[in-house]
Amino acid sequence: MDTKYSFVKSEIKSKILQGNILPHQKIGSEADLMKEYSVSRHTVRKAIGDLVVEGWIYKKQGAGTFCADRSSALQQQEKRTKNIAVITTYFSDYIFPAIIRGAQSFLSEHGYQVTVFSTNNDHEQERRCLEDVLSQQFDGLIVEPTKSSQPNPNINYYLNIERFGIPYVMIHAYYEELEPIHIVMDDEEGGRQQTAHLIEQGHRHILGFFKNDDIQGKLRTKGFIKAHREAGLTLSPQNIINYSTETMGEIPRQILRERLSGNGERPTAIVCYNDQLAIGLLDVLRERELSIPEDISIVGFDNSFLSIASEVKLTTIVHPQEEMGIQAAKTLHQVIKNKEVPTGEVKIPSITYKPTLKVRSSTRSIEVSPAVK
């Protein structure tokens, strides 16, 4: 458990890193800090003392304590090996190792040292990662946004990263209010292609499972709806199932069990947010002793190693994975080089990958009754 003084120290440091306390701005008096954090004068003095030693604040005799200008200190440092931070939602499973491997391979070849952080798609962990980036004075950042469809409480950290002149590139998604350089998939088109493939095969009762706290899920939902509209089909709202990071382990399986056990029309196909979800839903289909694709078709997204890991080879949308990591690293390198050459700003474009569908054995054509065409 954190001591009281380390808590006070962490809170003051967080305010500096968020840009809520600017360089040379006065920190609250000892009395103010004692009142704000409900601690003793000794605790405040110990926290302040540590921050002074570490270069976060400085004291002026008779005037008080002030925020240090760490950007000017950074500029005075001798040239050193450049350090790049890579922040992803996850780094040890699914497609993320391939993305990280691609970024690391390019950056290492160009003399960068790489440190990888994971947020586990949690805003509080994202905050800690961003504080590390600012504290350790990284030269650049590749970041996958956390819960990108929700309001982000850490925007101040990104604004402070910009104020410190640290270049960054976002992958998979981006925070629209920041308008950053980004490397993403056309997720709406990917969702449309998943669904259109099934509609072309004659499927009319299609369930769509989408993660709703990341913008990718919302865009893929949009593509799911768009494909139905293009085909002139009525889409029941009940056929769109949303889940979150916290509920992804159980909610989709629970709802699929309910739909397969109900008295209504059984779905003939499933569109999945990603391959990882598709593999989880296959377990439910096996429980019900349903054959794929004879009884029900299923489509994934990402063309991950999971898409061919089981006896069911998934039809899925191809994701660039390692190529996306390489491209993000190339783009960041270009931004850094452009920053170092004072010949005028060069506009560096964002990149959107166009999806393609990889057809395997998890989908098949079915006959359509004239009444439902």
Portions of the chain given CATH number 1.10.10.10: 4-74
What's the DSSP call for residue 144? Answer: P
pLDDT tens for the chain, residues 1 to 373: 358 878 888 888 888 888 888 888 888 888 888 888 888 888 888 888 888 877 778 877 777 888 888 765 544 444 456 899 999 999 888 999 999 999 999 999 999 999 999 999 999 999 999 998 988 879 999 999 999 999 999 999 999 999 888 999 999 999 999 999 999 999 999 999 999 999 999 999 999 999 999 999 999 999 999 999 999 999 999 999 999 999 999 999 999 999 998 777 899 999 999 999 999 999 999 999 999 999 999 999 999 999 999 999 999 999 999 999 999 999 999 999 887 655 556 689 999 999 999 999 999 999 765 544 4
pLDDT at 2: 56
Query: For the chain, how are helix, strand and coil distributed in percent, rounded to 5?
Result: 45, 15, 40
- CA 161 vs CA 17, 166, 365, 368: distances in Å: 9, 6, 52, 56
Residue 44, classified by CB atoms within 10 Å of its CB into exposed (0-12), middle (13-18) or buried (19+), is buried
User: Measured between alpha carbons, how far is 324 from 57 in angstroms, rounded to an integer?
Assistant: 40
What type of residue sits at position 72? S
The token pair at 159 is 């604004």
Q: pTM of the full predicted structure?
A: 0.81
Q: Output the DSSP codes for 232-277.
A: T----GGGEEEE-TTTTTTHHHHHHHHHHHSSSPPPSEEEESSHHH
CATH classification code of 4-74: 1.10.10.10
Q: What are phi and psi of 170, to 5 degrees?
A: -105, 145
Which one, of 345, 319, 290, lies nearest residue 167 by Cα?
345
pLDDT at 24: 80
SS3 152: coil
Q: Are strands 83-88 and 113-118 parallel, antiparallel or unpaired?
A: parallel
Q: How many CA atoms lie within 13 A of 331 on its CB side?
A: 26
Pick 187-319+357-372's CATH classification: 3.30.70.260, 3.30.70.20, 3.40.50.2300, 3.90.226.10. Answer: 3.40.50.2300
pLDDT at 12: 84
pLDDT at 76: 47
pLDDT at 23: 82
Portions of the chain given CATH number 3.40.50.2300: 80-185+322-353, 187-319+357-372
pLDDT at 35: 86
User: Measured between alpha carbons, how far is 48 from 54 in angstroms, rounded to an integer?
Assistant: 10
User: Measured between alpha carbons, how far is 189 from 319 in angstroms, rounded to an integer?
Assistant: 13
Domain 80-185+322-353: CATH architecture, name and number where available? 3-Layer(aba) Sandwich (3.40)
The token pair at 248 is 């992804």
User: Measured between alpha carbons, how far is 349 from 169 in angstroms, rounded to an integer?
Assistant: 11
Cis-peptide into 293, omega within 30 deg:
yes
